[in-house]
Amino acid sequence: MTQVTLRDLTKKYSSQVKAVDHLSLEIPAGKITAILGPSGCGKTTLLKLIAGLVPPTSGDIFFDGISQLDIPAEKRGAVMVFQNHLLFPFLSVGDNVAFGLKMRGEPPQLIREQVLQILELVQLAGYEKRQPSQLSGGQQQRAALARALITQPRILLLDEPLSNLDANLREEMRELIFNLQRQQGITTVFVTHDQEEAVMLADQIALVFEGVLQQVGEPRAFYERPANLATARFFGANNILPGFDREGRIDTASGSLQIEENQIPPGPVNLVIRPENIRIVTEKGDRNNIIVGRVRSCIFAGTRTRMKITVEGALLEVVTDASPLRCYQEGETILLFLPPAKLWAYPAKESSV
């Protein structure tokens, strides 16, 4: 198991464009780390830097404390599986998987044994004589994974491994990657733009926007403690109430609201709350943080109901369980409770990306 350390890493493809911008990150040994972010944010460049396929403009990359800058890609022990598989179309599945061992000059009998073992591990036993064109998309992805794993890499790098698969195959492949990683204990880094995929598969998420690391931590932290407004928005907290922070009390157009934790200085702020954390109540009682809204839309979505509610100064989305809730009519007045522990305040000057 190998720990990877990225220290003040920068990659420029031109004098004006930084694909990676002074990024520092600890990638734990034997765990799965997701590099998450929108298209063009530098995710794949990060993988290529770790693999040694492109050199950094500045900064350093360490494997177990040893700099890799002077170590060529083929000697790093970091294997990258690309989004489009890149299987050799003129070789059988077995020969594709065996390619790395053949390049090492391993004995033919050993290669055959290991190919059969790894194909069984990725659920492709009996497919060794087929051509890549005879495989489904999911099977091709498994063959590419087998080709990477058979070399026993120190680090497995996966570039959008599930993006070309349909929903059922994505779930199946996600489970396979998770189980293989746990069995073999390989330090694994994968890039994705899909929050759900990152949350379900990774032990640690590193969120990147425009080459800059925004937040790193366990998946739950991105829902419970987003580091900034951009992170909150990326993880689905799209409800924003402008206000003014008066040392713990936030004055908004909808009324004065309390928040549980506040570590920002007084001044203009944006209050953020996730749609599923807003509660619909029938009476105000003596509770604080109750605001009045008017229903713009109410849509039944199977097990959930999605509502758009107009309040003073904002449009809020509310997502709640469908079973106990009737569908409200457009224009109907409604009371909303915003729990103080679920409200986050960010300086109004922060970008929401």
Residues 6+ apart with CB under 8 A from 186: 1, 30, 149, 153, 154, 155, 156
Predicted local confidence at residue 110, as pLDDT:
92
Instruction: Indicate whether 27 pLDDT > 80.
Output: yes
* Tokens coding 107: 């004995």
| Lowest mean pLDDT, pick from 54-63, 72-81, 268-277, 343-352 | 343-352
Instruction: Indicate whether 128 pLDDT > 70.
Output: yes
Sign, CA dihedral 205-211-212-214, equals negative
Instruction: Indicate whether 281 pLDDT > 60.
Output: yes
Predicted local confidence at residue 327, as pLDDT:
74
Q: Please report, rounded to a whole number, the percentage of residues in the chain having pLDDT higher than 90.
A: 52
Q: 155 - beta bridge partners?
A: 78, 187
φ/ψ (deg, to 5) at 194:
-100, 110
For the segment 188-242, what is each residue's pLDDT rounded down to a tens digit? 999 999 998 999 999 999 999 999 999 999 999 999 889 999 999 999 888 999 9
What ranges do the domains of the chain cover? 4-224, 237-347
Instruction: Indicate whether 338 pLDDT > 70.
Output: yes
Kindly report the CATH number that applies to the domain delimited by 4-224: 3.40.50.300
CB-hemisphere CA count at 13 Å for 81?
28
Query: Where residue 321 falls among pLDDT bands split at 50, 70, 90?
Result: confident
Predicted local confidence at residue 78, as pLDDT:
92
Identity of the residue numbered 339: P
Contact 346, 274 (CB under 8 A): no
Q: Please report, rounded to a whole number, the percentage of residues in the chain having pLDDT higher than 70.
A: 97
Q: How far is CA 269 from the centre of its chain?
A: 27
CB-hemisphere CA count at 13 Å for 329?
2
**CATH among 2.40.50.100, 2.60.120.560, 3.40.1360.10, 3.40.50.2300 for 237-347:** 2.40.50.100
Q: What is the pTM of this model?
A: 0.86
